[in-house]
Amino acid sequence: MGRAGPVGRRVSAPGAQAAVLAFTRRGIDTGFERGVVPVADRAAWIGEQELPGFRGGIDARVSLRTDAGPGLHGAWWPRSTDLAVELPELVAALARRGVHVTRFTYPFATWHAVPRKLAVGDRLVRVGGFATGDPQLVWLTCAPDDLHLELLVVPPGTEALFSARAMRMASVPGAARSARAVLAAAGRHPALRTGEIPVQTAG
């Protein structure tokens, strides 16, 4: 597959106010096969998603711009490169805020491969990968208007202040299109004061 960077049109969903949306990580064994990922004790898992903060407040981070236009539309800071764990939680967290992901596209070089469809609650998310392009980006297509979001991926395990800077820079109006440029700028930026870190917990 060639370069897969769709261009975003607008961000109007509730809660997508350039703040960091908190979600959390579940360590279940999906035991997936080719096709749809089966989840053991599906009813219990769906019920768990209704609780704020999943797993007692262990959070990961995603931020979104509020304006339309070219460039990055936000950033995601996952806890691992295991999409079978990280992606369902990202999708569920955004759905609770009115952003319904229907397709997720990722670079093979950065992530562990997953099936072409993932079950998240009662929804299926189509998943596609590509061998070329920026390894620090992912692309989301969202319902109901085929909204396209291009997100910077802050590498798992990155130091917290650096990650907060990168997420803020990727979420401001007119954000740069280059993930590499944002990450480089975040590394040069002076240390933030605690009150400047744009992180909020789910609730």
> For the chain, first and last CA: distance in Å?
39
Whole-number pLDDT of residue 152: 94
Read off the pLDDT of residues 98-111 as tens digits, 9 standing for 90 and up. 889 999 999 998 99
Which has the minimum average pLDDT: 9-13, 64-68, 134-138, 181-185? Answer: 9-13
Report the distance separating Cα 81 and Cα 63, nearest Å.
Answer: 18
What CA–CA distance (Å, rounded) separates 151 from 177? 10
Say if CB 189 and CB 158 are below 8 A apart: no
* Whole-Å CA distances, 30 to 76, 82, 118: 22, 11, 11
Question: pLDDT above 70 covers what percent of the chain?
Answer: 62
pTM over 0.75: no
| Selection from 183, 173, 199, 124 nearest residue 11 by Cα | 173
For residue 149, which of 158, 139, 159 has the smallest C-alpha distance? 139
pLDDT at 70: 80
The span from the CA of 98 to the CA of 89, in Å, is 14
Q: Look at residue 103 in the predicted model and tell me its pLDDT.
A: 96
What local confidence, expressed as pLDDT, does residue 59 receive? 59
What pLDDT, on a 0 to 100 scale, did the predictor assign at position 46?
A: 35
Q: CA 30: distance to chain centroid?
A: 20
Burial of 83 (0-12, 13-18, 19+ CB in 10 A): buried
pLDDT mean over 42-56: 37
Q: What is the mean pLDDT of residues 20-29?
A: 27
pLDDT at residue 145 in the model: 84
- Count how many Cα atoms sit within 13 Å of the Cα of residue 134 in the half-sphere of its side chain: 20
Instruction: Pick the more confident residue, 55 or 148.
Output: 148
Residue-level pLDDT at 172: 85
